[in-house]
């Protein structure tokens, strides 16, 4: 098992390298010129050229890439073209909000979706089943920002239960932190609940017809125990797969959600950086997100071994 | 079990503490949403309005323009002019200190003037008259001129971009084309660099050692008395959310809410509208003289006949309460306003426009019109321009891009089909275009002019005459001639005057009427 | 969403395939989904005939009117008629009803184009990866790398590379979708290769193209159709998100996504800007998802035994 983990970790390296190359190329191929944007309105061609030189943008692409790669491996992501701060500082500032949002979203989604899916499977064919399936398809058919606006209108404006926007750091109080994150997390969780509830229902249904379920019932196990210990546990593998796949969706949703709710996280940083052609920041953030995605996939694969003893690496 | 209880207790305590600290933070803080996020901190290096607003927070000026448009001394205590009008002597008033505690000296001021003048076009014009700028003693410096000019006060009291803010000598000595990295000023607020999170928020605190003048505040002049402890500029890009937050009490002030959302504020009793910039703004269409066919004055003139101001104003502002049709290059409500030169124009006389195009031999070259998509107040302008131009017989190729891309592209002189441009639209704050020297777009010095590069010797001569003239009556006459000439050669097209009220919570009082949003004099009661 | 390798015993024979197609045509999800999509597509295709105004015709004087507002419209031949803005007008005075109908064209075209192109490219790359052993490693590493970059960010990056427009957006959404198709095709190829009848075919000397055509390709059709429909649905949603972030298709060409994005700041005062295109978008995505669900339930043999 340990060798498997090590092998997978090693395999991350070429993948991340390819991500780095792809992102780097993508940015350098762009026709717009960050030097011109930085130089400002009244600059002449010499000033722009001077800035290009200072930023190292006049070097051949391969040289730029090697220099950047070297620095990145040492943890130096360079200085943002626009924010006049070290990219590492920018990112570490924004890590907490995005992590908080993502984790809370996943927790809420799982807490709602799995019981819902299990119940839907249990009462297969009933009104709960149909409602769950119906709403879940709706859940991932509506764009995130529309869900956000509707939720804000209902809960923040009309009912005044929750704040409209903003983020409070954990250090300034858990109560405020939770209060501000609730609506954004629910917004993002909608898609997840939809996905996870569906797959839970489908997997549990599949498993419900198995012999060992009948045996468990015959033995006299209570229904909850049958559902959770026997059905859910065996249905877990596809569910966890979808959760892992959902993380990719999560990142996309985070970008939009942070924009609407004014959460100063990595998602918004990326949007601002892309619109401002801030290469160092864009490169660093995409690299970070990709690394997170790869590692989460690894964790998902490892979780399989706990869930299903038959799966061994 | 005990462990669990301890955990729960800790959680509850943390939550309670969180509540406490939140209450403690609710001191006198003004939470504002400005029209843009602050990314650049050098108000000399760029003319961007948000940076100018930042400048007004932390810097002070030698002279300042008051509500009536008159230039009054601010940092200057004693101001003498020699009989021949060639020697101006300035003495700083007592008690001026920098944020780090050092006293403000004449040396600092001279260095600051030099840096400002290196970048600002009015400053450049002023310096062309200056023979010598010398420090007399700690608090006094003098300016000796080659010829009399009204630009001394007009320049040093310039209200908007670039404002001649005073900085310590060590900062002002920075090369004008490099951004400063030290943000010490002598203004009524201190910039909290450690709390600055670009894209998120900017924080200012009251400068306790600031010594305001004794006169009442008026515009940018008078005593700058700060009554709040802290000002936070929050970056909320979503306009709908900004208004939602204001109505919910999560923020106190929005500088520039979209006009379409003002009804939401009007309908709420906790919130009020306030028009702090009574002179408003002006939409402008800028053609590129170096790009065929706009090198032909007749074809440019066709634009003056193709356009009308109401369509643009209706498309962006929508409510007649907040706009004014003002066919003049110099805004309505300002000293030099005149309608001379624009009679009969800006009325969408498509026949006349088509006739002009025919006369000029317009060959159907598509006009590359740049359309910015992410600046809320400008987005609707280009489609209106395209529609009117097409009705007048132009062929228009409207290309959409974000503002940053537009800014990069408008600096290029390449042919429009190869990465260049024919035209774009923008907006000026009225205070920036009150006279021929301030109005950047009227600079017709060919290559040295702003993007668009108009080239007209007659216009330059008129502007020079204006600069030399010290008598206000004669200045007005020259300004009229400038406008007549501008309408003949079409340096740019004025597309209407519009007003942007701010919205704020009812407890925000005392905001001054000035062309830039200033935060002294504001109380939160 | 199907990433796992296809167990060999689930490969279909031609007879099974024909039965599956028949079953698919009878499946209620498929029927309803297909019907809704067809209706929307027809509305889009016939837009000029459905009492619409040109979607990019601005009319600043008549901006932000609520649904039901009437005005006098002058036709190209000079005659005047009364026109009712069923869905109101947007902030430039354009008719929302017309824009929504014309928007159906672009949104659905984006969805279908992205699906077709990504499936086609993914198919080719997947076949190569599955068949040519020494290329497999490199291709899959690149695909892993591509998949690791979050879709939205990749799409944003690609769009900002060039002038915003239909082709840029299509390319931007196609690229992140290719890796999943590649993985799917590759897994099918890998499992088929082990089949005895394929081994027999190779021994007999069947040229590779024929092998691909006769044995491999037919087994990819069903899963690819299913995958394609999900890609189509997600493409429409991604386009909306890109418009929201400011890097979508410029508003002269209406899409449901950019109509909503443009009108979003007016949500509380003029909700019709978001409501009508949002309804159509949700309906379309819903229908396509239903279609995909139904197809998967009937065509994809791995799920044939599922309820």
The pLDDT tens digits along chain B (525 residues) read: 445 555 454 455 444 444 433 333 356 899 999 988 888 899 998 888 899 999 999 999 999 999 988 999 999 999 999 999 899 999 999 999 999 999 999 999 999 999 999 988 899 889 999 999 999 999 999 999 999 888 899 999 999 889 999 999 999 999 888 889 899 999 999 999 999 888 889 999 999 999 999 999 999 999 999 999 999 999 898 888 999 999 999 999 999 999 989 998 998 999 999 999 999 999 999 999 999 899 999 999 999 999 999 999 988 888 899 999 999 999 998 889 999 889 989 999 999 999 999 999 999 999 999 988 778 888 889 989 998 999 999 999 998 887 877 887 888 888 998 889 999 999 999 999 999 998 989 999 888 888 899 999 999 999 999 988 888 889 999 999 999 999 999 999 999 999 999 999 999 999 999 999 999 999 998
Structure confidence by residue, pLDDT tens digits, A4-57: 778 878 878 888 888 888 888 777 776 667 777 666 655 667 777 877 787 777
Structure confidence by residue, pLDDT tens digits, A198-245: 878 877 877 777 777 778 788 877 777 777 777 777 777 777 777 777
Give B197's contacts in chain A (Cβ within 8 Å): 93, 264
Q: Report whether B88 contacts B190 (CB < 8 A).
A: no
- What SS3 string covers chain C? CCCCCCCHHHCCCHHHHHHHHHHHHHCHHHHHHHHHHHHHHHHHHCHHHCCCCCCCCCCHHHCCCCCCEEEEEECCCCCEEEEEECCCECCCCCEHHHHHHHHHHHHHHHHHHHHHHHHHHHHHHHHHHHHCHHHHHHHHHHHHHHHHCCHHHHHHHHHHHCCCCHHHHHHHHHHHHHHHHHHHHHHHHHHHHCCHHHHHHHHHCCCHHHHHHHHHHHHHHHHHHHHHHHHHHHHHHHHHHHHHHCCCCCCCCCCHHHHHHHHHHHCCCCCHHHHHHHHHHHHHHHHHHHHHHHHHHHHCHHHCCCC
- Find residues 42-81 of chain A whose CB sits inside 8 Å of chain B: 42-43, 47
Predicted pLDDT at A39:
67
Rounded-to-10 torsion of CA A269, A275, A280, A281: 0
Inter-chain touch B374–C251, beta carbons under 8 Å: no
Nearest Cβ partner of A149 from C141, C151, C267? C267
Q: Report whether B151 contacts B125 (CB < 8 A).
A: yes
Does residue C144 sit at the A interface (CB-CB below 8 Å)?
yes
Nearest Cβ partner of B240 from C92, C251, C267? C267
B80 CB neighbour count, 10 Å cutoff: 11
Inter-chain touch C63–B312, beta carbons under 8 Å: no
Q: In Å, what is the CA distance from B152 to each residue of B75, B143, B469?
A: 15, 9, 12
Distance CA C275, CA C256 (A): 10
Among A31, A90, A179, A262, pick the best mutation site for testing chain B contact (most B Cβ within 10 A). A262
**How much is the mean pLDDT over chain A?**
81
Distance CA B150, CA A94 (A): 51
Chains in contact with B, where contact means 3 or more Cβ–Cβ distances below 8 Å, are A, C
Task: Give the gap in angstroms from C-alpha C249 to the nearest C-alpha of chain B.
Answer: 9
User: Residue B95: left (phi > 0), alpha (psi -120 to 50), or beta?
Assistant: left
> Is residue B466 classed as helix, strand or coil in its secondary structure?
helix
Higher pLDDT, residue A134 or B89: B89
Q: Which residues of chain C have pLDDT under 70?
A: 1-21, 160-164, 300-307
Among C245, C250, C269, pick the best mutation site for testing chain B contact (most B Cβ within 10 A). C269
Inter-chain touch A19–C247, beta carbons under 8 Å: no
Give A30's contacts in chain B (Cβ within 8 Å): none
Q: Report whether C33 contacts C291 (CB < 8 A).
A: yes
A66 CB neighbour count, 10 Å cutoff: 12
Task: Give the gap in angstroms from C-alpha B441 to the nearest C-alpha of chain C.
Answer: 27
**Residue B470, class by beta-carbon neighbours within 10 Å (0-12 exposed, 13-18 middle, 19+ buried)?**
middle
For residue C56, give the chain B residue with the closest CA: B383
Q: Report whether B53 contacts B253 (CB < 8 A).
A: no
Among C89, C91, C99, C243, pick the best mutation site for testing chain B contact (most B Cβ within 10 A). C91
- Reported ipTM: 0.80
Chains in contact with C, where contact means 3 or more Cβ–Cβ distances below 8 Å, are A, B
DSSP state letter for B71: E
Outline where DSSP puts E strands in A8-167. none
Nearest Cβ partner of A164 from B15, B198, B241? B241
Half-sphere exposure at residue B211, Cβ-oriented, CA atoms within 13 angstroms: 13
φ, ψ of residue B218 in degrees (nearest 5): -155, 115
Higher pLDDT, residue B397 or A289: B397
Paired strand residues for B233: B32, B202
Distance CA A108, CA A194 (A): 12
Distance CA A264, CA C135 (A): 43
Predicted pLDDT at B2:
47
């Amino acid at each position: 098992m340990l060798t498997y983990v090590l092998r997978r970790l090693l395999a991350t390296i070429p993948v991340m390298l390819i991500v780095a190359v792809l992102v780097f190329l993508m940015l350098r191929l762009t026709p717009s010129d960050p030097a011109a944007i930085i130089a400002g309105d009244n600059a002449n061609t010499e000033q722009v050229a001077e800035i290009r030189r200072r930023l190292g943008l006049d070097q051949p692409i391969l040289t730029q890439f090697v220099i950047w790669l070297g620095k990145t491996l040492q943890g130096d992501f360079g200085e943002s073209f626009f924010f006049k701060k070290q990219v590492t500082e920018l990112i570490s500032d924004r890590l907490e909000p995005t992590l908080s949002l993502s984790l809370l979203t996943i927790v809420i989604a799982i807490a709602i979706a799995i019981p819902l899916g299990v119940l839907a499977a249990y009462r297969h064919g009933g009104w709960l089943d149909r409602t769950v399936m119906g709403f879940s398809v709706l859940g991932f058919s509506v764009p995130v920002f529309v869900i956000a606006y509707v939720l804000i209108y209902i809960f923040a404006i009309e009912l005044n239960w929750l704040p409209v926007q903003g983020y409070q750091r954990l250090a300034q109080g858990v109560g405020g932190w939770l209060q501000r994150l609730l609506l954004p997390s629910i917004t993002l969780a909608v898609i997840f609940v939809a996905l996870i509830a569906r797959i839970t229902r489908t997997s549990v249904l599949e498993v419900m017809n198995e012999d060992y379920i009948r045996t468990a019932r015959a033995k006299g196990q209570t229904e909850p125990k049958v559902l959770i210990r026997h059905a859910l546990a065996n249905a877990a593998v596809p569910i966890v797969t979808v959760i892992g796949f959902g993380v990719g969706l999560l990142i996309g949703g985070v970008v939009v959600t942070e924009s609407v709710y004014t959460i100063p996280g990595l998602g918004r940083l990326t949007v601002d950086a892309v619109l401002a052609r801030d290469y160092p920041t864009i490169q660093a953030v995409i690299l970070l997100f990709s690394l997170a995605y790869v590692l989460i996939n690894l964790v998902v694969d490892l979780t399989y071994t706990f869930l299903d003893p038959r799966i061994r690496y | 079990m005990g462990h669990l209880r301890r955990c729960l207790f800790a959680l509850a305590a943390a939550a309670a503490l969180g509540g406490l600290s939140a209450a403690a933070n609710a001191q006198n803080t003004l939470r504002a949403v400005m029209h843009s996020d602050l990314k650049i901190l050098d108000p000399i290096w760029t003319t961007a309005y948000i940076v100018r607003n930042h400048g007004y927070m932390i810097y002070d000026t030698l002279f300042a323009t008051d509500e009536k448009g008159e230039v009054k001394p601010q940092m200057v205590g004693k101001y003498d002019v020699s009989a021949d009008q060639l020697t101006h002597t300035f003495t700083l008033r007592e008690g001026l200190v920098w944020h780090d505690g050092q006293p403000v000296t004449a040396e600092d001021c001279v260095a600051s003037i030099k840096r400002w003048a290196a970048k600002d076009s009015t400053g450049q014009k002023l310096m062309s008259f200056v023979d010598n700028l010398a420090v007399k003693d700690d608090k006094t410096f003098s300016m000796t001129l080659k010829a009399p000019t009204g630009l001394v006060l007009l320049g040093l009291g310039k209200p908007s971009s670039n404002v001649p803010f005073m900085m310590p000598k060590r900062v002002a000595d920075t090369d004008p084309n490099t951004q400063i990295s030290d943000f010490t000023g002598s203004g009524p607020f201190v910039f909290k660099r450690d709390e600055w999170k670009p894209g998120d928020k900017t924080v200012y605190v009251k400068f306790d050692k600031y010594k305001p003048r004794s006169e009442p505040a008026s515009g940018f002049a008078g005593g700058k008395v700060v009554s709040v402890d802290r000002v936070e500029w929050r970056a909320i890009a979503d306009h709908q959310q900004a208004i939602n937050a204001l109505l919910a009490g999560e923020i106190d002030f929005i500088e520039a809410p979209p006009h379409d959302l003002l009804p939401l504020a009007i309908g709420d009793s906790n919130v009020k509208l306030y028009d702090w910039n009574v002179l408003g703004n002006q939409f402008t269409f800028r053609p590129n003289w170096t790009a065929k066919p706009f090198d032909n004055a007749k074809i440019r003139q066709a634009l003056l006949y193709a356009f009308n101001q109401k369509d643009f104003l209706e498309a962006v502002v929508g409510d007649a309460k907040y706009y004014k049709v003002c066919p003049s290059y110099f805004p309505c409500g300002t000293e030099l306003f005149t309608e001379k030169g624009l009679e009969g124009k800006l009325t969408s006389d498509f026949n006349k426009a088509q006739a002009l195009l025919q006369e000029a031999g317009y060959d159907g070259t598509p006009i590359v019109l740049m359309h910015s998509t992410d600046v809320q107040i400008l987005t609707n302008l280009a489609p209106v321009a395209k529609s009117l131009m097409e009705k007048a017989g132009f062929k228009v190729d409207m290309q959409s891009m974000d503002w940053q891309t537009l800014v990069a592209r408008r600096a290029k002189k390449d042919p429009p089909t190869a990465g260049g441009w024919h035209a774009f639209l923008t907006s000026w704050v009225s205070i920036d275009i009150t006279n021929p020297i301030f109005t950047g777009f009227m600079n017709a010095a060919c290559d040295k002019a702003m993007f668009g590069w108009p080239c007209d010797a007659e216009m330059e001569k008129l502007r020079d005459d204006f600069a030399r003239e010290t008598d206000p009556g004669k200045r007005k006459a020259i300004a009229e001639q400038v406008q007549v000439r501008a309408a003949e050669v079409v340096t740019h097209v004025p597309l209407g005057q519009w007003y942007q009220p701010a919205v704020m919570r009812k407890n925000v009082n005392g905001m001054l009427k000035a062309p830039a949003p200033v935060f002294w004099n504001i109380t939160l009661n | 969403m199907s990433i796992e390798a296809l167990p060999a015993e689930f490969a279909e024979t031609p007879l099974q395939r024909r039965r599956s197609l028949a079953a698919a045509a009878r499946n209620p999800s498929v029927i309803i989904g297909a019907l809704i999509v067809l209706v929307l597509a027809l509305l889009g295709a016939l837009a000029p005939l459905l009492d619409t105004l040109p979607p990019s015709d601005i009319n600043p004087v008549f901006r932000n009117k609520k649904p039901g507002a009437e005005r006098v419209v002058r036709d190209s031949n000079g005659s005047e008629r009364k026109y009712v803005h069923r869905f109101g007008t947007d902030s430039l005075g354009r008719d929302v009803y017309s824009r929504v109908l014309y928007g159906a064209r672009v949104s659905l075209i984006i969805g279908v184009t992205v699906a077709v192109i990504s499936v086609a490219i993914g198919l080719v790359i997947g076949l190569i990866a599955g068949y040519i052993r020494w290329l497999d490693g490199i291709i899959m590493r690149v695909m892993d790398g591509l998949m690791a970059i979050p879709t939205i960010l990749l799409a944003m990056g690609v769009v900002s590379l060039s002038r915003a427009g239909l082709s840029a957006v299509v390319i931007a959404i196609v690229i992140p979708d290719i890796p999943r198709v590649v993985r799917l095709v590759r897994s099918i190829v890998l499992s088929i290769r082990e089949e005895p009848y394929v081994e027999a075919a190779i021994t007999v000397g069947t040229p590779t193209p024929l092998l691909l055509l006769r044995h491999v390709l037919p087994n990819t059709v069903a899963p690819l159709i299913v995958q394609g429909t999900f890609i189509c649905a997600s493409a429409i949603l991604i386009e909306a998100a890109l418009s929201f972030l400011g890097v979508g298709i410029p508003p002269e060409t209406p899409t449901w996504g950019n109509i909503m994005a443009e009108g979003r700041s007016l949500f509380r005062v003029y909700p019709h800007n978001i409501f009508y295109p949002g309804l159509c978008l949700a309906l379309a995505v819903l229908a396509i998802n239903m279609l995909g669900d139904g197809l998967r339930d009937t065509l994809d043999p791995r799920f044939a035994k599922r309820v």
